[in-house]
Amino acid sequence: MEISNKKTTDSLSRLLKYLNRWRSKVILASLYSILNKIFDIAPEVLIGVAVDLVVKKEDSFVASLGFASITEQVLFLGVVTFIIWALESLFEYLYMIEWRGLAQNAEHQLRVSSYDHAQMLDLEWHEKQSIGNITAILNDDINQLERFLNNGVNQIIQVMVSTVIIGFIFFYISIVIASIAIIPVPLIFVISLYFKKKLSPRYKAIREKVAALNTSIINNLMGIQVIKSFMTFKHERDNLIKKSMEYQNENINAIAISSAFNPLIRMGVLAGFLGTILIGSHMALNGAIEVGSYSVLVFLTQRFLWPFTTLSTLIDDFERSMSSSDRIFDLLSEERQIINNPNAKSPKNIECHIEFQNVEFSYDPKIQLFERMNFDIPFGSSVGIVGDTGSGKTTVAKLLLRLYDINAGNIYLGSHNIKELDINYLRKKIGIVSQEPFLFNASIRDNICYGSDNIDTNTIERAAKKSQAWEFIEKLPNGLNTIIGERGQNLSGGQRQRIAIARTLMRKPEVIIFDEATSSVDNRTEQLIQRALFTIRRGRTSIIIAHRLSTIRNCDNILLIKNGKIVEQGNHGTLIEKKDSHYSTLWAIQTGKSIL
């Protein structure tokens, strides 16, 4: 129980710390909730006053306030009742406005902050996460927290206020009856703590199951073409049923526990209510307490104990919200490993000469990928990188962009170690076209202009022509305004590649990296992309990563990576002349001069 309580306390303290930015709003909303509950309790007290008026007439409590006649007393009581109900309604309106406004503000700010933090986290973190889990945090968990702030906090405050105020009234009227009425309260809290301990891990498991379910749905929708091609509808349906059932079973288990809570609480409430009625009536009949006071006690006992029956719902919402809160703040507490040097530089003029100097790197500490890797790419030159799958070709681009940091050695851009450069500055200097470029569900114009501001049509057309994309864009009925669908699915692979090249050119990078840009296109499209590469690499440092040697044959220098080391380098002519070289063997295979 200690561990569970400590975890819940930590979760709540993290939430309260975050809400501190809206401190004045929280205080105001809490004040309205308190005032609403005070005026909500008042009518029960007025019932006792009304009974007292009927029984004692001229000797009633109201008469002691200076209202002599029965008519004056009734009118006074009517006016006070109206005012109390009006104020109760007013403060209900005000607390609803404040709490709901706070919930919406917190929901918006949390979603934006969480998304912004997530997109700024290192690529290593993203590669270890599932999209479903991240979207579950940004949507489901934040929505759960919004629901709790919307109504749950107000309910907790009002239960506490009613307990204190009614308890005070009870002890003021009769210590004996008050003692009897509160006997169930400790029992209720013990039961509450027990159920909270049982529910907390259940709701954590529920959040994990819904994340797995989201991941499965998103992956299936993204891979719908593969599912249709392989006719695996039943397999995927069964897989989804399994995950959905796991989520459903976790919910059912939690429901089974939380549902048992309310009946037990009701029995405690019944015990207190019966005690008040039986003992209170005996004392009223014997004249120990006034009839009006007895009336107040009867009504207030119900008001005192009945809110505890909502504890099951409150604890249910609270534990769900704390589980969601944990996931949200765990995300927000993730730290970036790749950050700017405190004295990061953004030099105005830099010659984009690239040098890898004794670079060592590994994704897994147990498996070394690069060991003392050295190579040099002069400014304005083009370098092709080739090697077996998994040899680290794409890793070179990731290290240059500082998507990962090296374990040892140095990487230089010009005369500057890239760790000394501002990350935004570094990545603006480098453009990359990947094997599977991501395009947005927008127009061709918007995709080409992505990340660029105030771009005119002529500039877009020039970039499209340089990338060899204009030859198909101008044939489309809507030209640049053509909507290309989600992930560019309305275009062919080669067309998507050329749009991605145009998008990269719009940034005017001084270093451009083509990572397997021709690996999945036909021969004609490869020729078009090669023509684009030949045009756009002028005046830039170019790195072309490829499996197809025909893509890199015109590069000034070619690096062949094997087992994390550069084993061969030179231009195409030099390398194929070495008949026993790995490069010449690959060339012979790809040109049909040799077979495996």
Question: Within its chain, how far is the Cα of 267 from the centroid?
Answer: 41
Task: Determine what percent of the chain falls in helix, strand and coil, rounding each to the nearest 5.
Answer: 65, 10, 20
Burial of 87 (0-12, 13-18, 19+ CB in 10 A): middle
> What are the pLDDT digits (tens) for 294-303?
676 777 676 6
Burial string for 486-495 (b: 16+ CB within 10 Å, else e) reads eebeebebbb
Six-digit token string for 365: 């500490």
DSSP element (H, E) containing 559: strand 557-562
> What are the pLDDT digits (tens) for 452-483?
776 788 888 888 888 888 888 888 888 888 88
Confidence of residue 521 (pLDDT cuts 50, 70, 90): low
Contact 359, 373 (CB under 8 A): yes
Q: What is the mean pLDDT of residues 52-72?
A: 72
| Per-residue model confidence (pLDDT) at position 306 | 66
Mean confidence (pLDDT) of the chain: 81
Same domain for 262 and 408, yes or no, is no
Name the phi and psi angles at 130, rounded to 5: -100, 145
Higher pLDDT, 571 or 453: 571
The yes-or-no verdict on residue 400 having pLDDT over 60 is yes
Q: For residue 5, is it within any domain?
A: no
Higher pLDDT, 320 or 312: 320
| Per-residue model confidence (pLDDT) at position 450 | 84
- DSSP letter at 396? H
Same domain for 305 and 371, yes or no, is no
The total of structural domains in the chain comes to: 2
Same domain for 363 and 328, yes or no, is no
Pairing of strands 430-433, 511-515: parallel
| Per-residue model confidence (pLDDT) at position 4 | 45
Q: For residue 453, is it within any domain?
A: yes
Q: What is the mean pLDDT of residues 225-232?
A: 70
Q: Say which residues have a Cβ less than 8 Å from residue 375's Cβ, sequence separation at least 6.
A: 355, 356, 383, 559, 566, 569
Name the phi and psi angles at 422, rounded to 5: -60, 135
| Per-residue model confidence (pLDDT) at position 523 | 66
Distance of alpha carbon 331 from alpha carbon 69, whole angstroms = 68
Domain edge (last residue) among 299, 333, 367: 333
Distance of alpha carbon 559 from alpha carbon 570, whole angstroms = 7
CA 123 vs CA 5, 336, 435: distances in Å: 35, 10, 17
| Per-residue model confidence (pLDDT) at position 6 | 47
Domain of 215, in residue numbers? 21-333
Q: Say which residues have a Cβ less than 8 Å from residue 520's Cβ, sequence separation at least 6.
A: 435, 436, 493
Same domain for 558 and 426, yes or no, is yes
Q: What is the CA angle 11-252-114, rounded to 5?
A: 35
Domain edge (last residue) among 298, 333, 368: 333
| Per-residue model confidence (pLDDT) at position 208 | 80
The yes-or-no verdict on residue 147 having pLDDT over 50 is yes
Higher pLDDT, 145 or 306: 145
CA 180 vs CA 183, 309, 541: distances in Å: 5, 18, 86
Separation of first and last alpha carbons in the chain: 66
The yes-or-no verdict on residue 3 having pLDDT over 50 is no
Q: For residue 496, is it within any domain?
A: yes
Quickly count: other Cβ atoms within 10 Å of residue 445's Cβ: 18
Confidence of residue 292 (pLDDT cuts 50, 70, 90): low
Burial string for 240-252 (b: 16+ CB within 10 Å, else e) reads eeebbebbeebbe
> What are the pLDDT digits (tens) for 188-225?
767 766 766 777 677 778 878 887 887 788 777 767 76
Confidence of residue 361 (pLDDT cuts 50, 70, 90): very high
Angle between helices 23-56 and 291-305 (to 10 degrees): 150
The yes-or-no verdict on residue 62 having pLDDT over 70 is no
Confidence of residue 229 (pLDDT cuts 50, 70, 90): low
Q: What is the mean pLDDT of residues 314-343?
A: 86
Domain edge (last residue) among 284, 300, 333: 333
| Per-residue model confidence (pLDDT) at position 72 | 77
Same domain for 401 and 437, yes or no, is yes
Q: For residue 344, is it within any domain?
A: no
Q: For residue 208, is it within any domain?
A: yes
Angle between helices 2-19 and 70-120 (to 10 degrees): 90
Contact 122, 337 (CB under 8 A): yes
The total number of residues shown for the chain amounts to 596
3-class DSSP assignment, residue 149: helix
3-class DSSP assignment, residue 541: strand
Higher pLDDT, 56 or 286: 286
| Per-residue model confidence (pLDDT) at position 243 | 86
Contact 218, 139 (CB under 8 A): no
Same domain for 319 and 397, yes or no, is no
The amino acid at residue 416 is H
Closest CA to 34 of 165, 151, 168, 149: 165
Confidence of residue 418 (pLDDT cuts 50, 70, 90): very high
Same domain for 326 and 395, yes or no, is no
Same domain for 299 and 419, yes or no, is no
> What are the pLDDT digits (tens) for 107-123?
999 999 999 999 889 98
Q: Which long-range contacts (CB under 8 A, 24 or more apart) does 367-375 make?
A: 368/564, 369/395, 369/564, 370/395, 370/406, 370/564, 370/565, 371/564, 371/565, 372/409, 372/565, 373/409, 373/564, 373/565, 373/566, 374/566, 375/559, 375/566, 375/569
Contact 95, 26 (CB under 8 A): no
> What are the pLDDT digits (tens) for 11-21?
788 888 888 89
Q: What is the mean pLDDT of residues 555-582?
A: 87
Q: What is the mean pLDDT of residues 397-408?
A: 91
> What are the pLDDT digits (tens) for 419-444?
999 998 998 888 888 877 888 888 88
Question: Within its chain, how far is the Cα of 434 from the centroid?
Answer: 26
| Per-residue model confidence (pLDDT) at position 2 | 37
| Per-residue model confidence (pLDDT) at position 220 | 78
Instruction: State the sign of the Cα–Cα–Cα–Cα dihedral 332, 335, 341, 342.
Output: positive
CATH code, domain carrying 562: 3.40.50.300
Confidence of residue 311 (pLDDT cuts 50, 70, 90): low
Distance of alpha carbon 371 from alpha carbon 409, whole angstroms = 10
Quickly count: other Cβ atoms within 10 Å of residue 255's Cβ: 12
Q: For residue 8, is it within any domain?
A: no
Helix and strand element counts for the chain (H, E): 23, 10
3-class DSSP assignment, residue 378: coil
Q: What is the mean pLDDT of residues 137-148?
A: 88
Contact 51, 302 (CB under 8 A): no
In order, the DSSP letters of 64-98 are GGT--SHHHHHHHHHHHHHHHHHHHHHHHHHHHHH
Same domain for 323 and 366, yes or no, is no
Q: What is the mean pLDDT of residues 408-419?
A: 91
CA 57 vs CA 48, 69, 70, 81, 402: distances in Å: 13, 8, 7, 18, 87
Confidence of residue 407 (pLDDT cuts 50, 70, 90): very high
| Per-residue model confidence (pLDDT) at position 230 | 66
Same domain for 271 and 362, yes or no, is no
Burial of 555 (0-12, 13-18, 19+ CB in 10 A): buried
| Per-residue model confidence (pLDDT) at position 102 | 92
The amino acid at residue 233 is F
> What are the pLDDT digits (tens) for 258-286?
776 667 667 766 776 777 777 777 777 77
Distance of alpha carbon 381 from alpha carbon 555, whole angstroms = 8
Rg (CA), the chain: 36
Same domain for 387 and 290, yes or no, is no
Confidence of residue 100 (pLDDT cuts 50, 70, 90): very high
Same domain for 276 and 316, yes or no, is yes
DSSP element (H, E) containing 383: strand 382-387
CA 111 vs CA 107, 121, 134, 336: distances in Å: 6, 15, 11, 19
The yes-or-no verdict on residue 61 having pLDDT over 60 is yes
Q: What is the mean pLDDT of residues 316-340?
A: 86
Contact 397, 383 (CB under 8 A): no
